[in-house]
Structure 1
Amino acid sequence: MKPLLIIILLFISTFSFAQEEEILEEKEIKAIVVNAQTDAVMGDVHVINLNKVKGTITKEDGEFTILASVDDILYFSFLGFKSQKIRVTNDMFKFQNTKIALTELAYALEEVIVKPYQLTGYLEIDVKNAPINNAYQYSISGLSVGYEGGNKNPSAVTKVLGAILNPADLLRNLFGKQPNQMKKLRRIKEDDQIRDLLASKFDREVLMELLQIEKLDIQDILNNCNYSKSFIRTANDLQILDAISSCYEDFKVLNRKK
């Protein structure tokens, strides 16, 4: 009786494992992205598998192909359209050319000030009156990275000294909250399609989705990595990614040495 029971249990375990493997199996999805208002196909739409950290773009006929598993989240982004997240289902594998509709955003034009500074026409005078970005960067012997300072970041000197005296503790609380998300940084940087998308964006939206962190977390990380407010405000998402990645790599090295 016992051998029979063992065989039954083994069969059930094998069957359950096979089902789980089938669910998690990575397959190709083929779908089409269209305009929700006009039903016209949309080319050059960025599609990112947030779970696998892989990206692609749609062809001229709106079609795209990407590797995914059931329950993966696909993220769609296109300038002038509302970004959208779709959860992968079994039906998307069974029925090819599923339509994904994106909705256009309505933009309201804001008032534009054409002449914020009074120019005299004399170069020497106008140069003195022109605004200057004081986001200086300190370079310290023995450290491989610089630290931004100036009027935009008055606490830069304090942060530099803090980084020298106790660099790991400065960031442990920030990076320690999301270790799995931070591990994605290298994979994100290796995907050309994702890098191209990040280079064209300034809203941190894609980074927030990929790393599963809030916008305030991104600001906190960069502030504690001694980047100026000017850089945090004006850099594109790819520059922000590289800054976070560089800071995280330094943190890992310092944390191991402690």
Structure 2
Amino acid sequence: MSKTAFLYCFIALCVSSAAGSLFAQETVMLEGKVVNDSIEHEYLHILNLSLQKGTVTRENGDFTIPVRSGDTLYISAVQFKHQELVVSAEIVNRKYLEVKLEPEVTELEDVQISNIELNGRLGDDMNRIKLEKPFDPAEAGLPVYKGPILTQEERRLYTATHSGAGIIPVDAVINAISGRTKMLKEQVRISNMERRVQKARNLVSDTTYIRQLQIPARYIDDFAHYVYFDKPEALAIAATQNPLSILEMLLKQAPAYLQHKSEEGVEVNFKDKDGQ
């Protein structure tokens, strides 16, 4: 056996062993809290993308969700950037996590004030200003990606499967052997499914969920995941965008969902007339 082949076998065994210990982790119930001061803590959504489990925060920002070491948590809130974090062994041992979300800020481009003398006549002033041609990477001989815009999960998968130089992409081989590529592919699948679920959820107004389906506002997203997530038949009905077909399906699913929550020990009721 050549030295190169032996090296690859050695790396594969080491990485495979490490991956095996990672995926055999025990599931624990993680207590967490969103600690932002300038946010309505109640009803934020916490998803475990690896286990496909979700929950919502309580009024004080607390939440509880099952996790394993290496799982990916997804936290979303209106006017805040969604956050993804990997559950470390330390978090699992501590069984507690505090999360602070970053505000979603729309930044405007800087306005450069020049020393050009303007007289206030638009036609004359426009001729005085010299506009710089934007940098074109293609003209500079640089590679230009012309495919669709990749999501964060798709970029991670692309990096894991295309990294490395030479005839044999070493990083890509290691990622494939260790199971990282498989894990990233699953994250891409879940991320794409999540977008489809949210699109289907928004086909029906919150008022319809609350008043006709008797789903309290805080459980609407959870109900949407119950109906649509990994359910090709339900997603196919949503794709028709036929209001009557969608409502008919949701009316059948709502009682089953409420019964499901009851069996989980969750009391789903209305605090007020708006189903909050």
Give the TM-score of the pair, scaled to structure 1.
0.36
Q: Which has the higher contact order (CA 8 A, sep 6+)?
A: 1
TM-score normalised by the chain length of structure 2: 0.34
